[in-house]
Amino acid sequence: MDNFLNNVKRFIGHVPFTKDAVAMYFCMIDSKTPAYAKATIAAALAYFLSPVDAIPDLIVGLGFTDDATVITGALATVRAHVKDEHWEKADNFFHS
């Protein structure tokens, strides 16, 4: 997870849920976020960055559908903890 932001840069513009993943990352590193939410986010982000997926990312049109499902499910679970400040940090990351 230490290099998450560096690793995620390769997906910008190619994967529509990248901003969600970055906002979740900022939520995960927030000291006010409960442990269960951090664990949920960490697992989802690890799956997103993992080269081993249920559907390989290299398959055009389908490769990121499993990742999208994992990120969407995790975000639905922790949405209450992803605050405006996390979304703002994600916006700043994309515009820096």
* pLDDT tens digits for range 60-72: 556 677 888 999 9
What pLDDT does 27 receive?
Answer: 98
Q: What is the pTM of this model?
A: 0.85
Q: Is the pLDDT of residue 44 over 80?
A: yes
3-state secondary structure of 62: coil
For 5-37, how does the pLDDT look when each residue is reduced to its tens digit (9 = 90+)? 888 887 777 788 999 999 999 999 999 999 999
DSSP alpha helix (H) spans, the chain: 4-8, 18-28, 35-49, 65-78, 84-94
Integer Cα distance of 23 and 34 in angstroms: 16
Task: Give the closest residue to 89 by CA, choosing from 16, 29, 11, 23.
Answer: 23
Q: What percent of the chain has pLDDT over 70?
A: 84
